Amino acid sequence: MSIEKIKAYPEITEITIENDKVKSLVQEYNDLEKVQKHIKNCIETVRNYTKKGYYNLVQPEFVDEVITVFSNLELSKKDVIRVNNFIEIAGFPQCNRIWQLPDEMKVQASKMLGGFEITYDSENWEDFSLQPLEK
């Protein structure tokens, strides 16, 4: 048993730009309860795949499978900016992904991101806790 800590940032779903500045953004998960439920669902998915023999070469790990593969959380603010999902960008119609925005707007968006510190047991994933990160 090993207690580990990581930082995770929910992906952006909407962003509003006015006068070439990021006015606001919405992240997919913005409170502890929603993030906790989302992670529990991802853990359940990995556990089900494990039972079905999906991981026959290497055993899954919490960060690699639960967070990186199945969740809509990213391990860094840079990763949130790099996500290739379509998002709603109001006020800048020529873009539909955050990484397409001009660099200054990406920096502004990055500074607005909220995130969570996740403390988890590397063997018993279900035993995890969350704390919001300061922006």
Q: What is the pLDDT along the chain (135 residues), one digit of tens a residue?
A: 799 999 999 999 999 999 999 999 999 988 899 999 999 999 999 999 999 999 988 889 999 999 999 999 999 999 999 999 999 999 999 999 999 999 999 999 999 999 999 999 999 999 999 999 987
User: Two tokens at 129?
Assistant: 């806790």
Q: Which of 116, 106, 97 is nearest to 14 (CA)?
A: 97
Neighbours of 116 (CB within 10 A): 22
Contact 12, 79 (CB under 8 A): no
Output DSSP code: residue 101.
S
User: Two tokens at 7?
Assistant: 């930082």
Q: In this predicted structure, what is the pLDDT of residue 70?
A: 94
Beta bridge partners of 116: 8, 132
Q: In this predicted structure, what is the pLDDT of residue 77?
A: 97
Contact 45, 60 (CB under 8 A): no
Q: In this predicted structure, what is the pLDDT of residue 95?
A: 94
Q: In this predicted structure, what is the pLDDT of residue 60?
A: 94
Q: In this predicted structure, what is the pLDDT of residue 57?
A: 87
Q: Which of 14, 44, 53, 43 is nearest to 120 (CA)?
A: 43
Question: Could you give the CA distance from residue 92 to residue 60 in angstroms, rounded to a whole number?
Answer: 40
Q: In this predicted structure, what is the pLDDT of residue 134?
A: 84
Q: In this predicted structure, what is the pLDDT of residue 8?
A: 97
Neighbours of 67 (CB within 10 A): 20
